[in-house]
Amino acid sequence: MGPGVTAWEFISGRSENHLVDLGWKSVGVLELTAPPSLDESRWKPLVRETDGLLVAGGDALYLSHWMRQSGLAEMLPSLSRMVWVGLSAGSMVMTPRIGTEFVGWQPPNGDDTTLGVVDFSICPHLTTGELPGNSMAAAEKWAAGMGRSCSAIDDQTAITVVDDSVGVVSEGHWRHFSP
Strand segments, DSSP code E, in 64-129 are 83-86, 121-123
Question: What gap in Å lies between CA 28 and CA 48, rounded to an integer?
Answer: 13
CB contact at 8 A, 125 and 98: no
Q: What is the pTM of this model?
A: 0.90
Residue by residue, pLDDT tens for the chain (179 residues) are 455 556 777 777 777 766 777 788 888 888 888 898 999 999 999 999 999 998 988 899 999 999 999 999 999 999 989 999 998 999 999 999 999 999 999 999 999 999 999 999 999 999 987 777 899 999 999 999 999 999 999 999 999 999 889 999 999 999 999 98
Do 150 and 142 touch, CB atoms closer than 8 A? yes
DSSP single-letter state for residue 162: E
What are the boundaries of each domain within the chain?
1-117, 120-179
Q: Which residues pair with 151 in a beta bridge?
A: 122, 176
Per-residue CA distances from 77 to 41, 48, 49, 127 (Å): 18, 11, 14, 33
